[in-house]
Structure formats: structure tokens, C-alpha cells
Amino acid sequence: MEAPRRGQALIERYMETALLPFNAATSKPAQKAYLGTSLFIATSFILFGVASLAYALFYYNYVPQNSVERVIHLQFGGSNPYGTAALSSALTSSQAYDVTLYLHLPRTPNNIAAGNFMLDLSLLAPSNKANADVGTYFLGNDSTSVLARSRRPAILTYASPIVDTANTLSRLPLHLLGWERESEVLEVGMFEGVEFAKGWANVPQSVNVVVEADRNMQFYEVTIRIIARFGGLRWILYHHRILSFLFFTTTFWSSSILSMLLAWFLFSSYLVTHTTTKTESLSDGSARLKSEREDSEPFDPTSLDDISDTPRAFPTLGRQMPLQFTRRPDFIKKEDNNVKEEEETVQSTGVQSLIAEADDEDDDVTEATSGWRDSGLGTGLDEDRVTNVQRRRKALIGDRGRGA
């Protein structure tokens, strides 16, 4: 029998050891840790998304477009060809820009014969509308709406007749196939590092170009390109986009996490303090209410504390022996000690009134409890005991009176 019990105990021990990690993993503290970790991870991902969105908005508002390119459609019929183009909100204040014009010209005899010609470029304020009359710019009638103006010369590349003929013959197959044209693109820089003051009224919204040349000149296309010259933080953000994104997003995310942890710590501290205070208040109220209930609790005849411990004999049926009830020794010893204490108190104090009041109280207790206390069936030991105690007290009082 002992061997199977030992085997069963060993198996139970092995099972407890094997289930120990599982029990630890599924315990209440572990569940709280899982919940807290899940909430932290979810909140971290949400805050990372918020940080990424915040960086994207910051980058969009702080770093302007690197380059703006517009096609200018020249208008002919006046004294000089001219054209306008809208820049909308592509430019920003306090930022340096390089402005360049690209003229795509065919190498026609008229263009070659024109030689040097002037290009006039004006950056116009938002309130200005491009005027079809080019003469107004030369007269300066709209000078208040011109934020920046520049005039630069341009000319087609010169080539002698022999060189031009040889170049044409060498590229004749390409020209025949349509892969090349007898044209040239002139790149003319109009502004270098131009900046605009702060305020929406100081940022240009349109551009006007005037070609001061013979109206018989031919053009394929005229394009304006505005390139931002970044510096400082804007240069770092633009040229190192990935590193900038990681750095600023991580910084913003870390700040958000620290703020969240601090807020959670303060909230938890407040919640724990509030809960503790409320619990203490409830405990004090419950104790006070319990004390009041105990003080005002009515007399209960069925309480075991008030049942008499007097030895008794209960009658039985037939010839059976009567049932005897005897007090426990600890009750007898306790009662004897109480009697001795009362006698010593009476002997040590000579106040007659206190003894009389004690006798009255004993009489009141006897009368009040006589209706419900068990007087001990078939015996009168309880009444005799009370009477004997009263007699001893009176005798002691009488002796002290005569001795005095």
C-alpha cells in the first residue's frame, strides 16, 4: 500500500513542478502584467503614428518646394513679345531662390541676325494682375506691385558658315530621322539668391517676362525655373530625409511616451490616494455604525452570553437516571475570582452607598432576568448562590461599621 501512495505522491509532485510555469504564467500578477504591456505597446504604436504625422506636417509647412517650373506662353502683336505665368503659393518668405529662364530657339536667319537681345523678368505681388500693355512696366506705373525685377542679355551661340555647314552635314541622318532639331536652348540666370520679406503680401504670386527684341524672332518655348537654395535646418531636412525623419520622429515619440508615463503615474497616485481615503472613511463609518448598533442593540433572550451556567438536573422518562449539567471548571474559577475581587473591593473602600447600589443592581438584574433565565429545573442553587453572596457582603459591611 505504501508503494502506490509514494508513486502517486511522486506523480503529483512532478505534475506540480511541470505546471509551475503555467500557473505562474496564468496568475493574477502575470495577467496584470500582460494587460499593462499590451496597453503600453498599443499606445506606443499610436503615439508613433501621431509623431510621424506631426513630422510630416512640420516638414510640409517648414520646407518649401525645392524647384518650381512654369511654362510662359509669349504673346506677339505688340512692340515686344511678353508672357505671364502664375506661381500660386509655391514660394515662401525668408528663403533664397535662384531664378533661371530657358529659351528654346530655332537657329533661323532672323534669330541669328538678332544678335544680343534683352530679357526683362518681374516678380509680381499677389494684388497685381498681369497687364497686357507691356509699356506700363517700363514707365513704372506698377512699381508698387513689383517685388523683384531683373534684366539680362542673351544671344545664340555663334558658328561660322563653314562650321555650321559641317555640323549640319555630320548630323544630317539625325535630322532626317527627326531625332534632332536645328535649335538651341539658352539658359539665362535672372536672379541668384533672391529673398522675400515675411508676410503673404511680400511673396510673389505671378511672374512677367518681356523679350526686348525684334518681334520677328521665333521661339519654340520659354520656361522659367525657380530653385530654392536651402541652408541650415532646411538643408538638413531636405538632403537627409531619412535620418531627419528618424531623429525628429523618435524625439517626438520619446517625449510623448515620457509625458504619457508621467500622466499615468500621477493619475495612479491620485487614484490610489483617493481609494485609500474612501476606504478608510467607509471603515470608520462601518465601525462607528457597528458600535452604535451594539450600544443600541435590544436585549436578546436567545443569546448564548446570557444563558445561566448553574448546575442542573433534568428529569427523564421511566427509570432512567436524571440528566446532570455541571459547570465547566473555568467558569467556576472565573466566578470565584469575581467574588474575591468584589470582596477585596468592599474591604478596601468604606463607601456604604456603593455597596447599597451594588445590591440594588443585583436585585434588578435578578428581577429583570427572572422571566427568561433558566432557573435550573428541580434545583435552587442559583438563587441560593446570589443570596449567600449578598449576605456575605452585608456581614462584611456590618463588621466594618462596628469596627469604626
Q: Which range scores top for mean pLDDT: 73-82, 88-97, 183-192, 303-312? A: 183-192
pLDDT of residue 118 exceeding 90, the answer is: yes
Q: What per-residue confidence (pLDDT) applies to 311? A: 66
What is the pLDDT confidence band of residue 134, given thresholds at 50, 70 and 90?
very low
Task: Output DSSP code: residue 75.
Answer: B
What is the rounded distance in angstroms from the CA atom of residue 150 to the CA atom of residue 120? 6
What is the rounded distance in angstroms from the CA atom of residue 173 to the CA atom of residue 402? 160
CATH class for domain 67-229? mainly beta
Q: What per-residue confidence (pLDDT) applies to 105? A: 92
What is the rounded distance in angstroms from the CA atom of residue 341 to the CA atom of residue 336? 9
- Write down the mean pLDDT value for the chain: 75
For residues 57-77, average pLDDT: 91
What is the rounded distance in angstroms from the CA atom of residue 375 to the CA atom of residue 384? 11
How many CA atoms are closer than 13 Å to the CA of 293, on its beta-carbon side? 6
For residues 351-361, average pLDDT: 47
Beta bridge mates, 189: 100
What is the rounded distance in angstroms from the CA atom of residue 106 to the CA atom of residue 113? 12
Beta bridge mates, 187: 102
* Short-list 240, 264, 150, 138, CA closest to 204: 150
Cell matching residue 308: 445561566
What is the pLDDT confidence band of residue 250, given thresholds at 50, 70 and 90?
very high
**101: exposed, middle or buried (C-beta count within 10 Å: 0-12, 13-18, 19+)?**
buried
What is the rounded distance in angstroms from the CA atom of residue 55 to the CA atom of residue 47? 12
pLDDT of residue 324 exceeding 70, the answer is: no
Q: What per-residue confidence (pLDDT) applies to 138? A: 39
Letter string b/e over residues 296-320, b meaning 16 or more CB atoms within 10 A of that residue's CB: eeeeeeeeeeeeeebebbeeeeeee
The residue type of 234 is: R
The residue type of 100 is: T
Collapsed DSSP state (helix, strand, coil) of residue 63: coil
Task: Output DSSP code: residue 370.
Answer: T
- Give the H or E element holding residue 65: none
What is the rounded distance in angstroms from the CA atom of residue 146 to the CA atom of residue 202? 10
Is the Cβ–Cβ distance between 122 and 206 less than 8 Å?
A: no
For residues 366-384, average pLDDT: 46
Alpha helices in 297-372 (DSSP H): 329-348, 352-369
What is the pLDDT confidence band of residue 130, given thresholds at 50, 70 and 90?
very low
Collapsed DSSP state (helix, strand, coil) of residue 25: helix
pTM for this entry: 0.54
Q: Which residue has the higher pLDDT, 225 or 309?
A: 225
For residues 257-276, average pLDDT: 82
Q: Which residue has the higher pLDDT, 183 or 223?
A: 223
pLDDT of residue 4 exceeding 80, the answer is: no
Is the Cβ–Cβ distance between 313 and 387 less than 8 Å?
A: no
pLDDT of residue 396 exceeding 70, the answer is: no
Q: What per-residue confidence (pLDDT) applies to 154? A: 93
Q: What per-residue confidence (pLDDT) applies to 36? A: 81
For residues 24-53, average pLDDT: 85
What is the rounded distance in angstroms from the CA atom of residue 98 to the CA atom of residue 400? 127
What is the pLDDT confidence band of residue 230, given thresholds at 50, 70 and 90?
very high
Q: Which residue has the higher pLDDT, 283 or 200?
A: 200
How many CA atoms are closer than 13 Å to the CA of 200, on its beta-carbon side? 4
Is the Cβ–Cβ distance between 209 and 83 less than 8 Å?
A: yes
What is the pLDDT confidence band of residue 37, given thresholds at 50, 70 and 90?
confident
What is the rounded distance in angstroms from the CA atom of residue 384 to the CA atom of residue 367? 15
* Short-list 354, 363, 353, 350, CA closest to 389: 363
Mean pLDDT is lowest, of 67-71, 151-155, 379-383, for 379-383
Is the Cβ–Cβ distance between 148 and 191 less than 8 Å?
A: yes
Angle, CA of 68, 73 and 79, to the nearest 5°: 125
Angle, CA of 401, 341 and 394, to the nearest 5°: 30
What is the rounded distance in angstroms from the CA atom of residue 123 to the CA atom of residue 236? 28
Q: Which residue has the higher pLDDT, 280 or 373?
A: 280
